[in-house]
Copies of this chain bind each other. A is one copy, B any other.
Amino acid sequence: MAKTNPGRFFEDYSVGQILTHAVPRTISGGERALYHALYPARHALYSSDEFARNCGLPQSPIDDLAAFHVVFGKTVPDVSLNAVANLGYAEGRWLLPVYPGDTLRSESEVIGLKQNSNGKTGVVWVRTRGLNQRDEVVIEYVRWVMVRKSDPNAPAPETVVPELKGAVDAADLVVPKGLDFSRYDFVQSGESHRWDEYKTGEMIDHVDGVTIEEAEHMLATRLWQNTAKVHFDLTFRPEGRLIYGGHVISMARALSFNGLANAQMIVGLNGGAHANPCFAGDTVKAWTEVLDKAETDAPGVGAIRLRLVATKGGEPFALKTEDGKYRPEVLLDLDYWALMPM
C-alpha cells in the first residue's frame, strides 16, 4: 500500500529471477570531472583523449570504476537495501569501454540462495550486467550479500550455491577492440615501469594517503545514484555514516597510481572483501601485491593480476592477524586484473 520502496527481503528472491534495475543514466564529461575531483585519479588513458587515441581507442573512456559504480548503484534498491552485509564479488569483467554520451542500465539474475541457520537471514547471489544504449554488455560481475527475512517463518528456499571461479582466467579477459600499447608514451603516463618489470609476489607501498570527509563520500555515492540511507542519514546511524565500499575501492585504486601508473585498464574483478567499515576522518592508504601476469593477443598489451589493499593505519603489507582474520585497520582486499604496456 505504501508507495515507497521497502526493498526486497530474503524470501522475495528465487533462483533464476531477473531483476531489471531502475533509472538508466547518460554519462557526460561532468561525471569524469567529478570522478577526478573526488579521487586522485590520474591514469592517463582516462584523463586525455589524445593519450587514449594514441592507444587505439576513439577517445578517453570513463574510468572503469566509475562505470562499475554506475552499474552497481542501480542494483542497490533491488539487492542490498535490506542487506546486513556485502559478502563478496567474483567473475567480474569489463567488456566494453564506456564513453561520454553512453547510457547505462543494469540487470541482475539471482543465481544462488542459502538461508542461514539462524532462520533470520540468508545469502543471495546475483550476476549483474551493465548494458549500454545498444544493449551491449559493458560490465558483468557476481556479488553476494546477506539479506534479512521479512517474515522469519517464511519457508527456506532450496539451497543453491553457485560455483564461482577463484579468479577470472586470463584467457577470458576482454581487451577493448583496437587497444594497442605499441606506441605507449611512458613519459606522459607518469611512470616508466612496464609489465615486464613487475614480478609475481612483488609488493608496492603506494605511499600517499587521503583523509576522508563526509561531504566527499556523499557526493560520490549520490553521483552513482546509490541512495542506501546508511551512507547519508546521521539520525539513522548516529555512530557515523558508513562510507560506501565503492568509495574506498576508487580511492585505493587512484592512490595506486603511485607505483602502478601504467596499470591502465581494469578488465577483471576476481574477488573483493570490505574487511572493515570506513568512516569520515579515516585516512585511506593503499598497497598492492602482484598476484599473476599473463600475455594478451593485443599489441604490446600485458595483463597483470593485482591485490589492492586499502588501510586506515598500520604498516603496509600487513593484512591478517595470526588467526586468519583481517587486521582491524584493513578496509579493503581487492583482487583484479589490469592491462599494462609490455
- Residues of A in contact with B (beta carbons under 8 Å apart): 2-5, 20, 22-26, 28-34, 36-42, 44, 47-51, 60, 77, 100, 103, 105, 133, 187-191, 193, 197, 204-211, 213-216, 218-220, 222-223, 225, 227, 229, 232-236, 241, 257-261, 283, 313
Residues of B within 8 A of A36 (CB): 222-223, 225
Minimum CB distance partner of A288 in chain B: B3
Task: Establish whether residues B233 and A211, one from each chain, have CB atoms under 8 Å apart when the complex forms.
Answer: yes
A99 CB to nearest chain B CB (Å): 12
Specify the main secondary structure of chain A where it touches its partner.
mixed
Task: Establish whether residues B236 and A38, one from each chain, have CB atoms under 8 Å apart when the complex forms.
Answer: no
Task: Establish whether residues B227 and A209, one from each chain, have CB atoms under 8 Å apart when the complex forms.
Answer: no
A43 CB to nearest chain B CB (Å): 8
Taken together as a complex, chains A and B put the C-alpha atoms of A40 and B2 apart, in Å, by 20
A285 CB to nearest chain B CB (Å): 8
A217 CB to nearest chain B CB (Å): 9
Minimum CB distance partner of A49 in chain B: B26
Residues of B within 8 A of A31 (CB): 29-30, 33
Residues of B within 8 A of A232 (CB): 40, 208-211
Residue A215 contacts which of B103, B215, B257 (CB distance < 8 angstroms)?
Answer: B215
Residues of B within 8 A of A23 (CB): 42, 44, 47-48, 188-190
Taken together as a complex, chains A and B put the C-alpha atoms of A36 and B118 apart, in Å, by 40
Taken together as a complex, chains A and B put the C-alpha atoms of A44 and B77 apart, in Å, by 15
Task: Establish whether residues A235 and B216, one from each chain, have CB atoms under 8 Å apart when the complex forms.
Answer: no
Residues of B within 8 A of A258 (CB): 4-5, 227
Taken together as a complex, chains A and B put the C-alpha atoms of A33 and B209 apart, in Å, by 26
